[in-house]
Structures are given as structure tokens and as C-alpha cells.
Amino acid sequence: MLDNLFIVDAHEDIAYHLSYFNRDFINPSVPCMITLPWLKEGNIRLVFNTIFVPTEFKPQKTVETALHQLSIYDRIYEEHNTDILQVKNYNDLSRLKQDSRIGFITLMEGADPIREPRELDDFYERGVRVIGLAWNDQNQYASGNNTDSGLTENGKELIKRMNDLRITLDLSHLNERCFWEALENCTTIPIASHSNARSLTDHPRNLKDDQLSAISERGGVIGLVLYNQFLKTWGQNPTSGDQSQPTLEDIFAHADYIINLCGEDHVGIGSDLDGAGVEDFPKEIRTVADLSKIAEFFLKKGYSEERVRKIMGGNFLRVLKENL
Ligand SMILES: [Zn+2]
């Protein structure tokens, strides 16, 4: 294990899981992958903590659900202020290196709760610093992988306001048309918080080579997502192909592919843990504390210590410092 490894995880659905299962953050009574003790044990130093409204709550309870998740985070910041620091600006981010606390920077996955662009200020006030315009479905701004519509006028207006506030644009989940239109309108450094290489695993949630290159050319970072179906075409057709569950080897394959295409400054980790069930992730990853196994594995594969530090956190940290 590398000394003082600074792990950044660009996608953790913490409040969604805590509220959906009404579970505890310290001693959960249901199967889960993220708790405060595991974050500490695993040397996770910065988390993109998401606001995520599941489809079943849309549209009636969209705003209510988002506000409830924000209040869950507020309670966590208050109850665990010796362990967790809410990151809202450059100074907070800089403080993390000396501070032993874990930084939480809020990512809104799907901008549905922002009913119109001018409401962005309210969410900024609450600490939202990264936004993905849409989840898989369509909303007032953009469309995810389930449709092929482009950005709306409101979508362009929202990105303009995000640019002004230096809110980072997350391109994961957008359909191809929205991806390119959003990128064109964005003036800060874009990221894909949780997406893999589509050339390796042909799933619409993954990114094609030209998309990966476009993000890296703008200085951005692609977070490797650990969800099995995005790591490997697996388990869907039991009569063909390799049916073994994805492993660390598959995570490495995606990392290596993107590094060969974009360079080592453009890959990070966006685990998506607690965005699905425990069994939906590689068998070596059972809790968030296991993320450090990725670093060990990459070192074993011959990656330099410097490269591994960049992938495990340095790259996302660089983008946030520039954008904030
Ligand atoms: Zn997602």
C-alpha cells in the first residue's frame, strides 16, 4: 500500500442509499458498501457525494427527494464534523491535504430538481459544485441514454449559469447528441464522473473514443465506474462469451485503454458504489475500503507510483482546483 495515498472517489450515492433504505451511516442494518468507518479505513480523502432522484419519485417528489438528500448531508456534516469537511471552495479543497478529514463535494446526478435555471443559485448555496444534466431519462435540460433528443434552451441556459458559478459539468449519462452540445457550451473543465470505455464494453453508458479524447483535450478526467455491466459484457447471454464476473483485471483494462488513448492525466475513479447492489460490483470490491486494492493491483501491473497516485485521486483533484 502506498503511503499517504489520497483517494478521490468521484461518484458515491451516499444519501440515496441512506434514505432509500433508511439506514445508518455508521452501523447499517442492510447490505451496503459505504459507511463512515469504511471511508476512513480505505483512505478515501475526497468523495463526490451525489444527489440522485430515482425514476419512481419523478416528477411528483423530485424536489422533495433532492432536498431531503441535501438535509441528510447537512446532518452528516454536523454530526461528523471531526471526520468530514464539506468542500465548497478552493480553500476547503486545499485544506484537505493537511486536514485528516474526508472532503465531501456535492454532485447532482440529473438536474431535474433545479426546476428552472435561475434556481441554480439555491443549490449552489447548499454546496452543489458538480452537475450532470440528466440521468438515463429526459428532463427539462437534456436527455440521457434512453432517448436521442438534444439539449433544450433551458439546458444551454443552465450550463451558462454553471460556467459563471464555476460548477463542474459531469458528462456521464448524457446521450451522444447532448454530450457534444453540452461540451460546446461548457467553458470550464468537463468530467465524466462514472463512465468506462465503450470500445471495450459496448454499453450506452460508456464513452466512445472520440468522447474520451474530447474530455481529455479539454483537460478533463474520466472516472472509472465499477458497476459490473459497464466493466464487461457479462451475464446477459449465458450461452456465449466469458461468463465470469468482472474483476480488478477488467478495471485495469479500462484504465489502460483510456490511458493509451488520452494519457495518464485523464483517468480517475468514480466507483458508483451504493448506486446498486453489492453483487453488482467486482468480487474484490465489497466495501469502499477496498478501493485501495485497485491501487495495489495497478502497481502490480507495472504502473508507476506517480501514475497510480494520479488515477486514484490526483487527476480529479487537479480539475477541481482549476474549476473551483
Ligand atoms: Zn449514474
Is the link from the previous residue into 59 a cis peptide, with omega within 30 of 0?
yes
C-beta separation of 44 from 291 below 8 A: yes
* Count of helices and strands (H, E) across the chain: 13, 9
1 is a domain residue: no
What are 152's three cell numbers?
433544450
53 is a domain residue: yes
Within its chain, how far is the Cα of 162 from the centroid? 18
The residue with cell 488520452 is 262
Task: Calculate how far, in angstroms, residue 11's C-alpha sits from the geometric centre of ligand 1.
Answer: 8
- How many domains would you assign to the chain? 1
CA dihedral 214→220→226→232, nearest 10 degrees, is 20
pLDDT digits (tens, 9 = 90+) for 59-86: 999 999 999 999 999 999 999 999 999 9
Q: How confident is the model at residue 97, as a pLDDT? A: 86
Task: Calculate how far, in angstroms, residue 194's C-alpha sits from the geometric centre of ligand 1.
Answer: 7
Comparing 2 with 28, the larger pLDDT belongs to 28
Looking at the chain, the whole-number percentage of residues with pLDDT higher than 70 is: 97
What are 235's three cell numbers?
451475464
Task: Calculate how far, in angstroms, residue 82's C-alpha sits from the geometric centre of ligand 1.
Answer: 29
Q: Give the DSSP letter of residue 310.
A: I
Q: How confident is the model at residue 244, as a pLDDT? A: 84
Alpha-carbon distance 190 to 318, whole Å? 12
pLDDT digits (tens, 9 = 90+) for 111-136: 999 999 999 999 999 999 999 999 99
For the segment 190-212, the average pLDDT, to the nearest whole number, is 97
Task: Calculate how far, in angstroms, residue 275's C-alpha sits from the geometric centre of ligand 1.
Answer: 7
Task: Calculate how far, in angstroms, residue 240's C-alpha sits from the geometric centre of ligand 1.
Answer: 28
214 is a domain residue: yes
Q: Which of 136-145, 158-167, 241-250, 302-311 has the lowest mean pLDDT?
A: 241-250
Q: How confident is the model at residue 152, as a pLDDT? A: 98
2 is a domain residue: no
Task: Calculate how far, in angstroms, residue 283's C-alpha sits from the geometric centre of ligand 1.
Answer: 20
105 is a domain residue: yes
Alpha-carbon distance 242 to 237, whole Å? 10
Alpha-carbon distance 11 to 62, whole Å? 20
Domain with 145, as residue range(s), is: 7-323
Alpha-carbon distance 213 to 318, whole Å? 18
CATH number, domain of 219, equals 3.20.20.140
Task: Calculate how far, in angstroms, residue 164's C-alpha sits from the geometric centre of ligand 1.
Answer: 25
111 is a domain residue: yes
Task: Calculate how far, in angstroms, residue 137's C-alpha sits from the geometric centre of ligand 1.
Answer: 11
40 is a domain residue: yes
Q: What is the pTM of this model?
A: 0.96
Task: Calculate how far, in angstroms, residue 111's C-alpha sits from the geometric centre of ligand 1.
Answer: 13
Task: Calculate how far, in angstroms, residue 3's C-alpha sits from the geometric centre of ligand 1.
Answer: 31
pLDDT digits (tens, 9 = 90+) for 251-296: 999 999 999 999 999 999 999 999 999 999 999 999 999 999 999 9
Q: What is the mean pLDDT of the chain?
A: 96
Burial of 153 by CB count in 10 Å (0-12 exposed, 13-18 middle, 19+ buried)?
A: exposed
311 is a domain residue: yes
Task: Calculate how far, in angstroms, residue 67's C-alpha sits from the geometric centre of ligand 1.
Answer: 19
pLDDT digits (tens, 9 = 90+) for 204-259: 999 999 999 999 999 999 999 999 999 998 765 555 556 789 999 999 999 999 99
Task: Calculate how far, in angstroms, residue 109's C-alpha sits from the geometric centre of ligand 1.
Answer: 7
Task: Calculate how far, in angstroms, residue 114's C-alpha sits from the geometric centre of ligand 1.
Answer: 18
